[in-house]
Amino acid sequence: MSNTETKTAMTRDANWIAVEDYRFPGGWTDSATGGGNSADKEARARALCRELEAGKILFFPKLPYEFPSDEREFLLSREWNELRLHKNVSYRPGDDVMRGFSGDHGTGTHLHHIVRNYSAHVVKFLRDFLRPYAGKWKLDFASFRPFEEEGRDLSLHKRNDLLHVDAFRLRPTRGGRILRVFTNLHATKPRVWYAIGDFGYVAEKYAADAGVSRFAAKNSALRRSVSRWAAGLGLARLSRTPYDRFMLRFHDYLKENDDFQRNSPKVRLEFPPGATWMVFTDGVAHAAMSGQFAMEQTLLIPPEALVAPESAPYRILEGIAAARLC
């Protein structure tokens, strides 16, 4: 591929930051915090939140949270062909519901137990590691992704191997951000991504053509109050802001756009076995090219919890449209 640089886990580069001062067990090391007092931890966490919001990927070569080895081995011990009707297994921590599994009861119960534990352990880690967001986020779904990404037979808009930014049809963020934490569980194979960390570049180049001004033009004081009222009542569709509607369109537009897919200055990233990484996937365009057996937890960070709101996609798009989107 042209215009593509290759980066591996061993390099520090402009796209990811290897976090070397936080581990499991133990958390922040003294070198991170100059002795470990909580104000220093807060400052270090805040600096990393700022990097994340600006489009960096935070990378941990080893698991930064608890994941019992027998549970990992169980996930890797089979091909999960009974799940092939679904894109992934999803887990909703809020109501403890697992979806996308259609095998035997015993296996389903065990899998449910594992994804529940996984989700709880990741959240416990994030409460410490991303403390500026703790208590302010909306805990979203977790997923188990057992299938090889290379060569998956999915419809164009569902394909993971085309560069895109994330947007959720039934979980509008209303200007908030989509944070995702991934772990490559595979024993030997890396998970390979292409990524573009600079949302400003992608938006400057493509948002006008994708119709951002049209979406902004549908914003009015009346629509904004209806959307706020619907959000208060939990009516997802009606609570969508023009920003949410545009991001759904932008997700599809980018996947459909051959010029963007071929010619954008993307970076190739290899996440080795056992690695964990976190990224705001509404801002960092990404494509999963290959890899099998990943876990993922999503959190929605509301606008008021952001430490660098000027980096938020809604703010960048509002600048381009010269109008409000939220």
Among 166, 270, 296, 318, binds Fe ion (CB under 5 A): 166
Q: Which one, 161 or 166, has the nearer CB to Fe ion?
A: 166
> DSSP string of 31-53?
HHHTTT-HHHHHHHHHHHHHHHH
Residues 6+ apart with CB under 8 A from 309: 303, 315
For residue 28, the surrounding DSSP H or E stretch is strand 27-28
Which residue, 44 or 266, is less far from Fe ion as judged by CB? 266
Scan residues 70-89 and list those touching Fe ion (CB under 5 A). none
| Integer Cα distance of 201 and 45 in angstroms | 26
**Minimum CB distance to Fe ion, residue 281 (Å):** 5
Residue 132, Cβ neighbours under 10 Å: how many?
18
- Closest to Fe ion by CB, 216 or 279: 279
Cα–Cα distance for residue pair 132/96, rounded to 1 Å: 26
Stretch that binds Fe ion, among 163-171, 247-255, 257-265, 310-318 (CB under 5 A): 163-171
Residues in 37-56 that interact with Fe ion by CB under 5 A = none
Residue nearest to Fe ion as judged by C-beta position: 166
| Encoded amino acid at 286, one letter | H
Q: Which C-beta is closer to Fe ion: that of 216 or that of 284?
A: 284
- Stretch of 66-74, 118-126, 165-173, 233-241 contacting Fe ion, by CB under 5 A: 165-173
Cβ-contact 52, 279 below 8 angstroms = yes
| 140 contacts Fe ion (rule: CB under 5 A) | no
Of the ranges 24-32, 64-72, 103-111, 161-169, which one interacts with Fe ion (CB under 5 A)?
Answer: 161-169
